Amino acid sequence: MAEAERIIAENRQARHNYHLLQFWEAGLVLTGSEVKSLRAGQVQLKDSFALVRGGQAQLVNCHISPYRNAGYAGHEPERSRRLLLHKAEIDKLEGQTREKGLTLIPVRLYFKRGRVKCELALAKGKQQYDKRETERRREAEREARAAMKAHGRR
């Protein structure tokens, strides 16, 4: 039986702004109030990215709103959070981001077997003309589907 994954948040702009090349699954080091906020869906991935610093992967600019009922044991909303990856994966990501000029982007956060996971993508930024081309292709596919659907109704 496949384990259930419950999606917490998706970074939809990532597919629009970047060519996503490879994907990794990483765990996150979180505090209790952060997990409670994630269960409530209080997270924003829009401007976040990942870095490799000192042999550790970090998730930067991920906004997790403070949990209302946390009391004195709250958390800082935009702190850097450690990503849990194997050493070989971290070394590979560090090499590719440094040499090829690629970026690590969090695509989505989800619960897997009760643990918070982050799907990271190795990405290359799109130019404006790439974005227009993608939109043109998507619009053409949409029109073709509509024409096929209309033709099937006759």
pLDDT digits (tens, 9 = 90+) for 1-23: 456 789 999 998 888 888 899 99
pTM: 0.79
Classified as helix, coil or strand, 27 is strand
According to the model, what pLDDT value does residue 1 have? 43
Domains and CATH numbers, the chain: 5-127 (2.40.280.10)
109 Cβ contact partners less than 8 Å away, ≥ 6 residues apart = 7, 8, 9, 28, 38, 43, 45, 116, 117, 118, 119
pLDDT tens track for 96-130: 888 887 899 999 999 999 899 999 999 988 888 88
Q: Are 125 and 37 in contact (CB under 8 A)?
A: no
pLDDT tens digits along 50-60: 999 888 999 99
In the Cβ-directed half-sphere of 154, how many Cα atoms lie within 13 Å? Answer: 4
Contact 97, 58 (CB under 8 A): no
